[in-house]
């Protein structure tokens, strides 16, 4: 079962054990489908069944089974929140996770204007500003910010991404 990070517990809400979630999944609709949250922190992972959730302004509030007091909720603050990939997959046709890019070929435009293989995506670094792709270029791992200017096109269904790295990056 592959898990996807969707945010972190940012605080307690009320007196009955609800937790606030700082969520960075980009898909608030996916929160409606969650049946479990996996919280990681202090070298351990704990699974919780989601009893219910609601939105308070733009902040998701979750009630987790077994967390019944403010003190118990506060003990979870700072833990990273994960869910099962199949529960959080976006509904939109053609939607994908950035982790789906791992294993894809990275192609760049050559001097003649055509696409040519440049390397392979080997990993993704979760970064607060934007994700960073790890790309293997002839045995050398290079880092490329996953932003439109450097990755103008991603085609996971076709097995590649198009990169437009800074001058000299491929050398």
The reported pLDDT for the residue numbered 137 is 93
Query: What CATH number does residue 151 fall under?
Result: 2.30.30.240
SS3 72: helix
The answer to the question of residue 103 being in a domain is yes
Please check whether residues 71 and 123 belong to one and the same domain.
Answer: no
The answer to the question of residue 131 being in a domain is yes
Of the listed ranges 50-59, 89-98, 99-108, 138-147, the one predicted with least confidence: 89-98
Domain with 151, as residue range(s), is 98-163
Question: In whole numbers, what is the pLDDT of the chain averaged over residues?
Answer: 86
The answer to the question of residue 93 being in a domain is no
pTM value > 0.75: no
The reported pLDDT for the residue numbered 89 is 61
Distance CA 171, CA 168 (A): 5
The answer to the question of residue 168 being in a domain is no
Distance CA 114, CA 168 (A): 18
Please check whether residues 121 and 72 belong to one and the same domain.
Answer: no
Rg of the chain (C-alpha set): 19
| Token pair for 165 | 């790295």
Please check whether residues 114 and 137 belong to one and the same domain.
Answer: yes
Please check whether residues 74 and 151 belong to one and the same domain.
Answer: no
Residue given tokens 């390397």 in the structure block: 119
SS3 127: coil
Half-sphere exposure of 38 (CA within 13 A, CB side): 14
The answer to the question of residue 138 being in a domain is yes
Which domain-ending residue is among 24, 55, 88?
88
Distance CA 48, CA 7 (A): 15
Half-sphere exposure of 169 (CA within 13 A, CB side): 17
Is 136:122 a contact under the CB 8 Å cutoff?
yes
The answer to the question of residue 73 being in a domain is yes
Number of structural domains the chain divides into: 2
Please check whether residues 30 and 107 belong to one and the same domain.
Answer: no
Please check whether residues 115 and 158 belong to one and the same domain.
Answer: yes
Please check whether residues 103 and 84 belong to one and the same domain.
Answer: no
Average pLDDT for residues 126-131, to the nearest whole number?
78
Q: In what order do the strands lie in the sheet with 153-155?
A: 140-145, 132-137, 115-125, 105-109, 160-163, 153-155
The answer to the question of residue 170 being in a domain is no
Which domain-ending residue is among 42, 67, 88?
88
The answer to the question of residue 156 being in a domain is yes
């Amino acid at each position: 079962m592959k898990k996807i990070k969707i945010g972190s517990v940012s605080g307690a809400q009320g007196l009955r054990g609800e937790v606030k979630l700082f969520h960075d999944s980009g898909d608030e609709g996916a929160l409606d489908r969650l049946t479990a949250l996996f919280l990681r922190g202090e070298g351990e992972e704990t699974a919780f069944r989601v009893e219910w959730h609601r939105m308070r302004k733009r902040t998701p509030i979750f009630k987790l089974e077994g967390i019944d007091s403010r003190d118990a909720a506060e003990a979870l603050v700072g833990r990273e929140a994960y869910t099962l990939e199949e529960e959080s997959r976006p509904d939109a046709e053609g939607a994908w996770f950035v982790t789906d890019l791992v294993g894809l070929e990275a192609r760049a435009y050559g001097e003649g204007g055509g696409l040519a293989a440049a390397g392979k995506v080997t990993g993704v670094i979760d970064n607060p500003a934007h994700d960073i792709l790890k790309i293997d270029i002839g045995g050398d791992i290079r880092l490329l910010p996953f932003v439109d200017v450097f990755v103008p096109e991603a085609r996971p269904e076709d097995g590649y991404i198009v990169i437009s790295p800074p001058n000299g990056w491929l050398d």
